[in-house]
Structure 1
Amino acid sequence: MIKVTIWNENRHEQTNPDVKEIYPGGIHNAIAGFLKEDFEVTTATLDEPEHGLTEEVLNNTDVLIWWGHLAHDDVQDEIVERVRNRVLDGMGFIPLHSAHGSKIFHVLMGTRTGELKWREADDTERLWVVDESHPIVDGLPDMIEIEKEEMYGERFGIPQPEELIFISWFSGGEVFRSGCTYKRGKGKIFYFRPGHETYPTYYQKEIQKVIRNAVKWAAPNPRSPKIHLGNVEPLEAIK
């Protein structure tokens, strides 16, 4: 069974009563609630020792889901490097919503900004599938409508996606690349935009389906060969 760790900074839930009402157990537990049907799930939060991401936890994680917003700078660089190394070694990584501003996203993307337009004004979001052949969209309609969400708008300061899965349109007129995949080393990455803390987005069945599909897609291939790097001996005698 695929082993999933859901990481959440868990700060909004402690300070904002509106967020606490929507996600009383924290965003991490809301996501864990529907993923436990198919995967072996654990959770970790910022204020745990080593942010809950010890060597043991990460070595037993096939896919890491990441939600952060208020406290990107509070994440220790040592833990960022630990996560990066696991992704390069094959662990899947799914940054959600405002995780575009996290240290680990910047390190993996090679960008220091991830800047974008934003607005919190109860926009309707229409999330359009633009790659119908991709396994992340299995079982989904060609458009997911979210009644109310925070708007993210282009230009989004990310590298060109290797695969673009979703584009969002917002009722204020903006568009956004909301589902993007990358590969770093042996690891697969899927950035997924929806999920602002003051909206119940993670309870919507279609959004849950996207995340569930993404976990299956991002999980490492146990049959992938070990690649030997560095100084190597020739396969044949060199004349």
Structure 2
Amino acid sequence: MTAPSASTPLAESLAKVRQRLNDALSAAGRPTTDARLLAVSKTKPAALIREAWHLGQREFGENYVQEGLAKQVELADLDDIVWHFIGPLQSNKTRDVAEHFAWVHSVDREKIARRLNDQRPEGLPPLNVCLQVNISAEPSKSGASLAELPELAGAVLEMPQLRLRGLMAIPAPGENMDAQREPFARLKEALRALQDRFPEAPLDTLSMGMTNDLEAAILEEATLVRVGTAIFGERESPR
């Protein structure tokens, strides 16, 4: 596939999201290199990911293991693409994630972490891990509680095939900027507490903020924002 022109719908939407991210960082008084864009490509065809790659996007997030694996096969020639697994992770899917992804954002209990560690191939670098926090304490959502974080983080830091990078959360929607910022601020403070408790750990990542609350997340020091709809359009039903 040849490089797409700058006038395609995807090129225009990706440029707008990049500008939003840069504007948000500037408004927060942060360097434009302080946060990265993770393009959430779940339910989208590999052809669109390839187009985004030609437009300079390198990091992509998938929610469904088998769908993500199929896209990896189709896009195997893009050797610098970075795959993030960001969906709920069941025990019977950990091997595929451990073997084929560079990041996983949804570790919420020690059992899942241990399986990922034990199943990560020796020839690969350690798997980058974010602990998912149920920051709004919603019964319907996955994630560890804030109280559980120190013990879980300590356990993951003892696993040689994992590299604990930080925290991830999907807060309940907020009606305004202040309401959006509040759970992000609590996640930021939770990361700072872990940094103080484990000063030797590479805890440098706050994975938070999506299409509708990107700006609020950046104000609370997000380093990785997960944007799908604003880049690729509304999600399609998964296969």
TM range (shorter): 0.3 to 0.5
How high is the TM-score relative to the length of structure 1?
A: 0.34
Which protein is bigger by CA-based radius of gyration?
Answer: 1
TM-score for both structures, normalised by structure 2: 0.34
Higher strand share: 1
Structure that is richer in helix per residue: 2
